[in-house]
């Protein structure tokens, strides 16, 4: 196989299946990643606050959950989401996409909780003490003083989590949810051009993650300039 043949095959694949790769594959990958990061941030925030709670039992339960999720493979969690979640909640009528999204959200929330917790703890303790001395409650201190300052530390890390999730959603192709890797498997099965299809998918993943990483870098620099 020559380089010319590879290039010709790539052009042929893109001319016939560009909608499968660029429209369906990219849109589902980005949608799945956005849902995962958005809901992961919400649940991760709750987990972070519970882990910082004064109740020892609650802290222990959340710590055990986070450590278990972070200590088990993503693919295993996807299998649980695909097979177990619909059995536990049949009334919800979750399809493949929703079941996989639930598993990804649970995984992301465990990692995001640590990001948020570290961002909160990075804020100078004196800020909270000053707010309490002015008469603010713990909730008011957290919402009006601590969290606004922690956001600068949290948002860039959440952006990096978005980039990571884009790559990790490739595991969802095991369940044929229609993402980029599913597009690769489909086109490979039709054309028998595995190498060329893989190159296309690899380039698309690289472009997505590279562009997002650059945008995150620009945002981080702007945050530093605003300090």
Give tens-digit pLDDT for 138-186: 777 777 777 777 777 787 788 888 888 999 889 988 888 888 898 888 8
Relative orientation angle of helices 74-88 and 96-121, to the nearest 10 degrees: 120
pLDDT level of residue 76 (50, 70, 90 thresholds): very high
Query: Is residue 204 scored above 70 in pLDDT?
Result: yes
For the 3-226 domain, the top CATH level (class) is mainly alpha
Query: Is residue 206 scored above 90 in pLDDT?
Result: yes
Q: For residue 127, what pLDDT is reported?
A: 65
pTM here is 0.85
Whether the CB-CB separation of 40 and 112 falls below 8 Å is answered with yes
Query: Is residue 226 scored above 70 in pLDDT?
Result: no
Give tens-digit pLDDT for 7-50: 888 888 888 888 877 788 889 999 999 999 899 989 998 998 88
H-type alpha helices, 89-193: 96-121, 125-133, 138-141, 147-168, 180-191
CA 220, CA 155: separation in Å to the nearest integer? 9
Q: What percent of the chain has pLDDT over 70?
A: 93
CA 173, CA 188: separation in Å to the nearest integer? 13
Q: Where are the domains of the chain?
A: 3-226
Joined tokens for residue 119: 């961002």
């Amino acid at each position: 196989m020559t380089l010319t043949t590879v290039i010709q095959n790539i052009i042929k694949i893109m001319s016939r299946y560009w909608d499968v790769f660029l429209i369906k594959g990219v849109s589902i990958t980005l949608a799945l990643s956005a849902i995962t990061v958005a809901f992961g941030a919400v649940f991760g925030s709750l987990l972070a606050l519970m882990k910082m709670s004064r109740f020892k039992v609650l802290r222990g339960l959340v710590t055990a959950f986070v450590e278990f999720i972070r200590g088990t493979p993503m693919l295993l969690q996807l299998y649980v989401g695909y097979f177990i979640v619909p059995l536990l909640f049949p009334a919800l009528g979750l399809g493949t996409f929703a079941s996989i999204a639930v598993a990804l959200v649970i995984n992301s929330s465990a990692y995001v909780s640590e990001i948020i917790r570290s961002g909160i703890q990075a804020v100078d303790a004196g800020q909270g003490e000053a707010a309490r001395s002015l008469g603010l409650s713990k909730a008011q201190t957290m919402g009006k003083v601590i969290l606004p300052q922690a956001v600068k530390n949290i948002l860039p890390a959440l952006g990096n989590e978005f980039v990571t999730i884009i790559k990790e959603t490739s595991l969802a192709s095991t369940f044929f949810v229609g993402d980029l890797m599913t597009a690769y498997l489909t086109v490979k099965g039709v054309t028998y051009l595995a190498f060329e299809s893989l190159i296309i998918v690899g380039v698309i993943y690289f472009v997505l993650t590279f562009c997002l990483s650059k945008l995150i870098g620009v945002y981080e620099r702007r945050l530093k300039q605003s300090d």
